[in-house]
Structure 1
Amino acid sequence: MNRNLELLNPAIMGDEQAMYELFRYLREHDPVSYVEHHNYEPFWAITRYEDIKFISQNNDRFINSPRTVLVQKQFEQVLLENFGSRNGLETLIHMDAPKHKKLRGVTREWFKPGPISKLSSTVKSIAKQYVDKMEARGGECDFVKEISLLYPLQVIMSIIGVPPEKEGMMLKLTQELFGGADPSQARGVNPEDALAVLMDFFAFFSEVVEDRKKNPKDDLATVLASALIDGEPMEQLDQISYFIITATAGHDTTAATVAGGLKALIEHPDQLQKLRDKPELCHSAAREMIRYTSPVRHMMRTTTQDEVFQGQTIKAGESICLWYPSANRDSTAITNPDVFDIERDNKSQLAFGFGSHMCLGQHLAILEVELFFRELLPRLKHIEFASEPEWVQAIFVGGLKSMPLRYEFN
Structure 2
Amino acid sequence: MPKPAEELAQEFDYTDPETVERLYEVYAALRARSGAVHSPRFDGHWAVTRYEDVVEICKDTTGYTSTRGATIPDVGNVVRSIPLEVDPPEHTRYRRFLGPRFRKAETDRMEPSVRRIVRGRLDRFRGDGEADLVPALTEQVPAIVIADLLGLPEQDWDAFRAWTTTMQRTAYSGDKEANSRASQALAGYLGDAIEARRGSGEDDGGVLYQLANGRVGDEPIPHDRALGMALLILMAGHETTANAAASALYYLADKPCLRDRLRDDPALTARFVNELLRYEAPVTGMARTATCPHVIDGNEISPGDKMLLLFTSANHDERVYSDPDAFDLDREERSHLAFGYGAHRCLGEQLAILELKVIVSEVLRVLPDYALRPGTEITHTPWVARGPASLPVVFTPSTAGEEVPA
- TM-score, normalising length from structure 1? 0.88
- Equivalent of 1:131 in 107, 122, 126: 122
Provide structure 2 residue ranges, at least 5 long, that are not aligned to the other structure: 1-6, 397-403
Does the Cα contact within 8 Å between 2:170 and 2:178 map onto a contact in 1?
no
When the two chains are superposed, the root-mean-square deviation of aligned CA atoms in Å is 2.2
What is the one-letter code of the residue matched to 2:132?
Answer: D
Question: Residue in 2 aligned with 1:388?
Answer: 376
Q: Take 1:348 and 1:380, find their aligned partners in 2: how far apart are those partners?
A: 30
Task: Out of 254-263 and 372-381, give the one that drifted further.
Answer: 372-381
Question: Residue in 1 aligned with 2:49?
Answer: 47
Taking structure 1 as reference, are residues 42 and 343 closer, same or farther at Cα in structure 2, changes over 3 Å only?
same
Q: Take 1:68 and 1:381, find their aligned partners in 2: how far apart are those partners?
A: 39
What is the one-letter code of the residue matched to 1:365?
Answer: A
Q: Does 1:21 align with 2:6?
A: no
Question: Residue in 2 aligned with 1:3?
Answer: 9
3-state SS in 2 of match to 1:245: helix
Task: State the shift of 1:41 in Å.
Answer: 2.7
Q: Does 1:33 align with 2:32?
A: no
Task: State the shift of 1:3 in Å.
Answer: 3.5
Question: Residue in 1 aligned with 2:395?
Answer: 407
What is the one-letter code of the residue matched to 2:204?
Answer: K
Does the Cα contact within 8 Å between 2:12 and 2:39 map onto a contact in 1?
no
- Equivalent of 1:362 in 338, 349, 363: 349
Taking structure 1 as reference, are residues 32 and 149 closer, same or farther at Cα in structure 2, changes over 3 Å only?
same
3-state SS in 2 of match to 1:144: helix
3-state SS in 1 of match to 2:188: helix
- Equivalent of 2:143 in 147, 153, 168: 153
3-state SS in 2 of match to 1:109: helix
Higher strand share: 1
Taking structure 1 as reference, are residues 205 and 333 closer, same or farther at Cα in structure 2, changes over 3 Å only?
same
**Residues 349-395 of structure 1 deviation map (CA, whole Å, 9 limit, x = unaligned):** 00000001000000000001111222222333312111425445433
What is the one-letter code of the residue matched to 1:130?
Answer: R
Task: State the shift of 1:27 in Å.
Answer: 0.7
Q: Take 1:46 and 1:192, find their aligned partners in 2: how far apart are those partners?
A: 31
**Residues 179-216 of structure 1 deviation map (CA, whole Å, 9 limit, x = unaligned):** 3367xxx7xx5212111111111110111112222343
Q: Take 1:378 and 1:90, find their aligned partners in 2: how far apart are those partners?
A: 37
3-state SS in 2 of match to 1:110: helix
Does the Cα contact within 8 Å between 1:142 and 1:403 map onto a contact in 2?
yes
Q: Take 2:133 and 2:395, find their aligned partners in 1: how far apart are those partners?
A: 11
Does the Cα contact within 8 Å between 1:256 and 1:398 map onto a contact in 2?
yes
Taking structure 1 as reference, are residues 165 and 381 closer, same or farther at Cα in structure 2, changes over 3 Å only?
closer
Task: State the shift of 1:326 in Å.
Answer: 0.6
Does the Cα contact within 8 Å between 1:330 and 1:337 map onto a contact in 2?
yes
Does the Cα contact within 8 Å between 1:180 and 1:394 map onto a contact in 2?
no
* Identity across the alignment (%): 25
Q: Take 2:216 and 2:379, find their aligned partners in 1: how far apart are those partners?
A: 40
- Equivalent of 2:91 in 76, 82, 100: 100
Task: State the shift of 1:346 in Å.
Answer: 5.5
Does the Cα contact within 8 Å between 1:64 and 1:300 map onto a contact in 2?
yes
Alignment length (residue pairs): 389
Does the Cα contact within 8 Å between 2:59 and 2:341 map onto a contact in 1?
yes
Q: Does 1:141 align with 2:141?
A: no
- TM-score, normalising length from structure 2? 0.89
Question: Residue in 2 aligned with 1:89?
Answer: 80
Q: Does 1:210 align with 2:210?
A: no
Task: State the shift of 1:2 in Å.
Answer: 7.2
Q: Does 1:121 align with 2:104?
A: no
Does the Cα contact within 8 Å between 2:58 and 2:341 map onto a contact in 1?
yes
3-state SS in 1 of match to 2:371: strand
Q: Does 1:312 align with 2:316?
A: no
**Residues 155-200 of structure 1 deviation map (CA, whole Å, 9 limit, x = unaligned):** 1111111102211101111211233367xxx7xx521211111111
Does the Cα contact within 8 Å between 1:160 and 1:221 map onto a contact in 2?
yes
Q: Take 1:346 and 1:152, find their aligned partners in 2: how far apart are those partners?
A: 28
3-state SS in 2 of match to 1:179: helix
Provide structure 1 residue ranges, at least 5 long, that are not aligned to the other structure: none
- Equivalent of 1:281 in 268, 287, 291: 268
Question: Residue in 1 aligned with 2:62?
Answer: 60
What is the one-letter code of the residue matched to 1:206?
Answer: G
Q: Take 1:389 and 1:110, find their aligned partners in 2: how far apart are those partners?
A: 40
- Equivalent of 2:177 in 180, 189, 192: 192
Q: Take 1:347 and 1:340, find their aligned partners in 2: how far apart are those partners?
A: 12
Taking structure 1 as reference, are residues 391 and 170 closer, same or farther at Cα in structure 2, changes over 3 Å only?
farther
Q: Take 1:125 and 1:342, find their aligned partners in 2: how far apart are those partners?
A: 28
Q: Take 1:291 and 1:339, find their aligned partners in 2: how far apart are those partners?
A: 11
**Residues 306-327 of structure 1 deviation map (CA, whole Å, 9 limit, x = unaligned):** 2222222223332221111111
Question: Residue in 1 aligned with 2:316?
Answer: 329
Question: Residue in 2 aligned with 1:170?
Answer: 160
- Equivalent of 1:243 in 224, 230, 240: 230
Question: Residue in 1 aligned with 2:401?
Answer: none
Taking structure 1 as reference, are residues 292 and 190 closer, same or farther at Cα in structure 2, changes over 3 Å only?
same
